[in-house]
Copies of this chain bind each other. A is one copy, B any other.
Amino acid sequence: MTVRQDVHSAGIPVLCQSCEARHRGVCGALDPDQLVALSKTSSRYTIEPGAELIGDAETVNSYSNVLSGVVKLTKGLSDGRQQIVGLQFAPDFLGRPFKVESEINAEAATAVSLCSFPKASIERMMRESPELEHRLLKQTLKELDEAREWMVTLGRKTASEKVASFLLMIARNIDPATDPATNSTSFDLPLTRADIADFLGLTIETVSRQLTRMRTEGVIRIENNRHVTVESLSRLERRSGA
């Protein structure tokens, strides 16, 4: 299980009874007693790539920690056009507190494992523990920041800057060891070309052409359509449009 290092790691890692993983997402906010109570109601799921998470009757009334894999959040237009509006990596928290009017879909981009809690127990715990709500606020602020960062990418960057920015973002999330010093890194793309296009507001063909260009110019290598090796992080950064 890959655990990304980020703001959430501030909490003490705690062992969840039901999924036997050290949650660094929500659970870190709870004291041991609360955690025991909560973990009695939790259950671990594994989701196939492509499966819907929200809108599904099974999961609509629950909150989850992402333990591994990548979840994509999408919004669609009535004529079928789609936009990915967020990606959740471990150890992000999944699920909207307080019903929001806007329609949003969540789908597993890769195989995903989740630790789910019934909505009711999370909401009760939120009333009891301000620290949990505080966590949630922090996560929401982080997502807002990411969303705004992508708005700049979507509105103001060229196709090649978009693809470079995307690769950098994935590298930083998948491979926590991404270190500017080594100047190279390697990871599996969690998204298909179609997903990448929906994420960047481009077409499949444009994404493919930009990846090809970067390959021929020696910035990246790609094996089996999925495994990307970045030869020069600094060159990738220069292409991402700062």
Contact = CB atoms under 8 A, between A and B. Distances in A.
Interface of A: 73, 75, 77-79, 81-83, 85-86, 96-98, 100-102, 104, 130, 133-134, 136-138, 140-145, 147-152, 154-157, 198, 200-201, 241-242
Contact of A149 (B82, B102, B149, B154): B102
7 A-B pairs with the lowest CB-CB distances in the bound complex, closest first = A155-B201, A78-B242, A154-B154, A85-B148, A147-B147, A83-B152, A130-B130
A79 B140 contact: no
A155 B102 CA distance: 17
Nearest to A140: B140
13 contacts: A73-B148, A75-B152, A77-B157, A81-B156, A83-B155, A85-B151, A86-B148, A98-B141, A133-B133, A136-B137, A143-B144, A144-B147, A151-B151
B83 A151 contact: yes
A203 B98 CA distance: 38
A115 to B, nearest CB: 22
Nearest to A104: B148
Contacts of A143: 144
B154 A85 contact: no
Contacts of A154: 151, 154-155, 201
